[in-house]
Amino acid sequence: MAEVIDGRAIARALDEQTKAEVEAFVAAGKNRPGLTVILVGDDPASEVYVRHKVKACERVGMRSTEHRLPAKTTQKELLGLIDRVNASEHVHGILVQVPLPDHIDERAVIDAIDPAKDVDGFHPVNVGRLSTGTGGIWPCTPFGCIKLLHSVEPDLTGLDALVIGRSNIVGKPVAMMLIAEGCTVTVAHSKTRNLPEKARQADIIVAAVGIPELVKGDWVKEGAIVIDVGINRTPGKDGKDKLVGDVAYDEVQHARAVTPVPGGVGPMTIAVLLANTVQAAKALH
């Protein structure tokens, strides 16, 4: 049986560490680390994510502020708010919840965030820092994947890694991080030929596609580590929606270790967001 990588437990341990760092920071007389979340419009899924993030801040003793703006907010108004939170000494992390309404240019908004407060790690300065190996703030979900890999294998040097997916938020940054870890990295996408064959060569597979159970048992070599980023809703036998990943979990039990869905990568994203905010607070002071 493959080891189950328990993302919930690893995220809890990271939260404990973040909480201790928050208290040490405050005890040293500095402003309590604070995260600002900006939500434009009333997308129900975004509402849930924002609520989770605010609750998570409370859990680790961090300040959180929420800015809920109506869907008709103009880009100029949103950029004005970002200017103000960029300048606030109580705000160390800024997160703009996506998707934004169609009339707002998401790229312009991300570019306006002070890179030192860009705790999502999507600003071009942070993307550049990651890809040049010069620090910066790293995006939460990919960084969470690396932490999960480290829980199984602290030294990834020399391993062959296959990343399936090349999005800016998961595939590309996780590939950059694996390169920094000393892996030999292949990045696959919808145009890749012979994907199962490539997968069978890999010591590490990170699947970030969005296709339920794309990665089959015979794609995975014995002893590989499998990180499943996918979150897909499919109809269960009882008629209710159930969550499945991009990996056929039951078929990969000959792997060394695998992340479940839910309970694998998902819980890491917010834990890394909080950890990034404390690191940002330290760097800003």
List, by residue number, the catalytic residues.
53, 97, 120
Q: Is 228 left (phi over 0), alpha (psi -120 to 50) or beta?
A: beta
Residue 170, CA distances (Å) to 19, 78, 146 in order: 26, 26, 12
Q: How far is the CB of 124 from ligand NDP (least distance, A)?
A: 18
Cβ–Cβ under 8 Å, residues 143 and 130? no
93 binds ligand NDP (CB under 6 A): no
Residue of the chain from 73, 141, 259, 277 that contacts ligand NDP (CB under 6 A): 141
From residue 214 to residue 253, the character string flagging contacts with ligand NDP as x (rule: CB under 6 A) and all else as - is: ---------------xxxx---------------------
Span 171-210, contacts to ligand NDP by CB under 6 A: 171, 188-192, 195, 208-210
Q: Could you report how far apart the first and last alpha carbons of the chain are, in Å? A: 47
170 binds ligand NDP (CB under 6 A): yes
Minimum CB distance to ligand NDP smaller for 116 or for 271: 271
- Tell me, by CB under 6 A, how many residues bind ligand NDP: 25
Minimum CB distance to ligand NDP smaller for 124 or for 158: 124
Which string of b and e fits 42-57 if b means at least 16 CB within 10 Å?
ebeebeebbeebeebb
Q: Which residues bind ligand NDP (CB under 6 A)?
A: 141, 164-167, 169-171, 188-192, 195, 208-211, 229-232, 265-266, 269
